[in-house]
Chains A and B, each alone.
Chain A
């Protein structure tokens, strides 16, 4: 089963308490952060702490992603070297560009060989937060078969563009579109930038729905309290589920009768509609909204 990535929760890499609780806060993925959440003087400390945490703590219920420092800083290379050896599921590469992803892939392949890990096991998510990265996002993803998703970094991107970041997010409309479309084309996850006002749940709800409406498949969170809202937006509604189940039932009927194309409630049902229904039902099953046999709970 492919990894469900509706929510990715950032957790500061130098806080023992948060590292201990990270797995139980409800997020699908946790991002143990060695970059922005850690001050320059504590980079060494956080790196070792996160390494020990991954070795010790039961993170089996979540995807463990470690955000390493950029490779063009003195911390990037040691981060990858230390962290990859304890086999996190995924590395999040900041300010991602094509060359850097290629380099990370090479380093990981070498480490995997040295440690006897399965080759290509450690995945990559590219953090797209520069204009160049955004325009080249197709090639960034293609730079490594390890890449399973893109995270859009709205704050840094707008800073790079020299434009104002607003709550409404009009300024990242293009970036969301672009990331969503390219990710869909390359069949990887498209994760939306976090909503930074942690007390505004109404705003978070709208912002998440806006991203989902443009085709983004998940959203980053900077506070555990944001997870429930994000999941509620990304969960299929009961109506969507019901309709998807009816489509699949009608499809089975049609298949039995040897019909290729069929209609339901007067509307023609074709392959894209069926595929969409399958996706919704699959997600419903994974979220426990419906049972595996397909009956609504």
Chain B
């Protein structure tokens, strides 16, 4: 799928994550993660986001994530919502 506009989903509340997505050239996936549990779960968060991006067949996107301790299910849901909103 092709990202055509800027969109966001989620919040900065505790246990949530705010995802902002914007279009990028095909083949480029940019990821910028900021998290209160970066040391403990930074890699996991990255994996969950990239997995969702792949699963949805996104061609090129820049994702900025501000995490407030979201569990994987929330991360996946917010990324999906943001990407859906950006088509």
- A residues adjacent to B (C-beta < 8 A): 15-17, 20, 44-45, 48-49, 51-53, 55-57
B64 on interface, CB distance cutoff 8 Å:
no
Contact indicator B74/A16 (Cβ below 8 Å): yes
User: Which of chain A's residues has its CB closest to B79's CB?
Assistant: A48
- The answer on a CB contact under 8 Å between A45 and B73 is no
For the complex formed, measure the closest distance between the CB of A271 and the CB atoms of chain B, giving whole angstroms. 50
At the interface, yes or no: B33 with Cβ under 8 Å from chain A?
Answer: no
Question: Other CB < 8 Å A-B pairs besides A16-B74, A20-B15, A52-B77, 18 of them?
Answer: A16-B15, A16-B16, A16-B70, A16-B71, A16-B73, A45-B10, A45-B77, A45-B81, A48-B80, A48-B81, A49-B73, A49-B78, A49-B81, A51-B77, A52-B74, A53-B77, A55-B73, A57-B73
Mask for B1-37, Cβ within 8 A of A = 1, else 0?
0000000011001111000000000000000000000
Interface residues in B42-87 by Cβ distance below 8 A to A read 70-74, 76-78, 80-81, 84-85
List the B side residues contacting A57 at CB < 8 Å.
73
Number of interface residues of B (CB under 8 A): 18
Known A-B contacts A56-B73, A57-B73; A45 and B14 likewise in contact (beta carbons under 8 Å): no
Interchain CB contact under 8 A, A20 and B77: no
Q: Which residues of A contact B80 (CB under 8 A)?
A: 48
**Roughly how many angstroms separate A28 CA and B72 CA in the complex, as a whole number?**
26
Residues of B within 8 A of A51 (CB): 77
Show 19 residue pairs from A and B whose CB-CB distance is below 8 angstroms, ordered by the A residue.
A15-B16, A16-B13, A16-B70, A16-B71, A17-B15, A17-B16, A44-B81, A44-B84, A44-B85, A45-B10, A48-B80, A49-B73, A49-B74, A52-B76, A53-B73, A53-B77, A55-B73, A56-B72, A57-B73
Does B9 lie within 8 Å of A17, measured CB to CB?
A: no
Instruction: Find chain B residues with CB under 8 A from A15 CB.
Output: 13, 16
- Point out the residues of chain B lying under 8 angstroms from A44, CB to CB: 81, 84-85
CB pair B9–A45 under 8 Å, yes or no, is yes
In the docked arrangement, what's the CA distance between A17 and B73, Å?
A: 12
Q: How far is the CB of B70 from chain A (nearest CB, A)?
A: 6
Q: Given A15-B13, A17-B14, A44-B85, are A49 and B71 neighbors across the interface (CB < 8 Å)? A: no
Least CB distance, B68 to chain A, in whole angstroms? 9
- Known contacts being A16-B71, A44-B84, is A49 close to B77, with CB within 8 Å? yes
A48-B77 CB under 8 A given contacts A16-B70, A16-B71, A56-B72: yes
CA distance A291 to B72 in the complex (A): 41
Q: How far is the CA of A20 from the CA of B16 in the complex (A)?
A: 11
User: In this complex, which of B72, B77, B78, B84 has the most chain A Cβ atoms within 10 angstroms of its Cβ?
Assistant: B77
Please give, as numbers and ranges, the residues of chain A lying within 8 Å of B72 by CB-CB distance. 56
